[in-house]
Amino acid sequence: MQRCQINIFAFFKNTTKVQSVLLTRRVLKNKLANRFMQTLTVLSLLLLLIMGLGLYYKSTGILKEHSLWNLIAGSTWSPLTGEFGFWSFIISSVYVTIISVVIALPISLLTAIYLTENAKKWVKKIVFPVLDILAGIPSVIYGLWGVLIIVPWIADSLGPRFVDYTSGYTLLAGGIVLSVMIIPLLVSLFIEIFSTVPKDFKDASTSLGATRWQTSRLVVIRKASPGIISAVVLAISKAFGETLAVLMVCGNMVGIPESLFDSAYPLPALIANNYGEMLSLPMYESALMFAALIMFVIILVFNAAARIVLQKVEKQFKL
């Protein structure tokens, strides 16, 4: 009996030791995982900081020769005479981005609402793979599609209705091509966002006599408004930095576009068109790096402002 008690005591003692060792290992693994994730987070922030500092360092040459205001507000671009005005490039980038979002947003929003609220299963089985394919198509394919379809359509059919002459390589062409590029992204994001709206909210709205459209408009979109804003911000950031497709259809003529049928020259196209070809000119490399810095700062400021607006919207529309 005594031996049995000793064995039981030893068993529980060994079990306690094993549990203690396992608990220590779990705590250690948890701490290591936390440290690892914290390190990755800090590295991500440092990467952003290093990119900004690197672009600023490469832009110091032109910043020493010209004032910041003259570089940003100037519209004269003549590298041979040492004049570097980026205003027309900035305006072109902003216009193309705005046009693309204005076209893509309602299409994407209504498509996502239909797919999540009204579409049958067989429709979803067809549409979802198509969206994935469209999102994976290289930008050069969109650019070629724009050159072969959109540019001739604007030059021959749409443009003559509004202006005397247009080559088709216009601000509008860039906006249309960009909108088609970001529609799959927006639709996919909107579908994921709308899917997170609790079904109880929809059922409550229906039980009160609301139609499907009223439920979608007043409940689903309202509840998902913070996510919608986040998706739009992501799409704008993507559109603002798009290079190849825009380069192929915008015309790439220096000047501030005065209508949708004028040529444009966005900042990404400026960098892609000229880097490596005209770097023998004084200050040219520094000017192109400053163009990249402008894009970096605009996107950074825009995302920061959008985050502030998003926080206010979350408080305002919180149900």
Alpha helices of the chain — where are they, by DSSP H?
2-65, 68-73, 87-113, 121-136, 139-145, 151-153, 171-195, 199-207, 212-215, 221-223, 225-241, 244-249, 267-274, 284-316
Q: Are 256 and 79 in contact (CB under 8 A)?
A: no
The per-residue pLDDT for range 24-66, each reduced to its tens digit, is 777 777 888 888 888 888 888 888 889 889 889 988 888 888 8
Average pLDDT over residues 209-222: 80
The per-residue pLDDT for range 131-158, each reduced to its tens digit, is 888 888 888 899 899 999 999 999 988 9
| CA pair distance 114, 187, nearest whole angstrom | 11
The per-residue pLDDT for range 262-280, each reduced to its tens digit, is 988 898 888 888 876 666 6
| CA pair distance 59, 289, nearest whole angstrom | 6
Average pLDDT over residues 210-232: 81
| CA pair distance 302, 202, nearest whole angstrom | 33
pLDDT of residue 314: 66
**Tokens 């799409």 -> residue:** 235
172 token code pair: 């509008």
Smallest CA-to-CA distance from 266 within 275, 277, 257, 258 is with 257
- Whole-model pTM: value is 0.82
Lowest mean pLDDT among 42-46, 89-93, 198-202: 198-202
Average pLDDT over residues 219-248: 83
Please give the full DSSP string across 1-20, using - where no structure is assigned: -HHHHHHHHHHHHHHHHHHH
pLDDT of residue 95: 92
Smallest CA-to-CA distance from 189 within 224, 158, 217, 151 is with 224
Residues forming a β-bridge with 251: 264
The per-residue pLDDT for range 165-184, each reduced to its tens digit, is 888 899 999 999 999 999 98
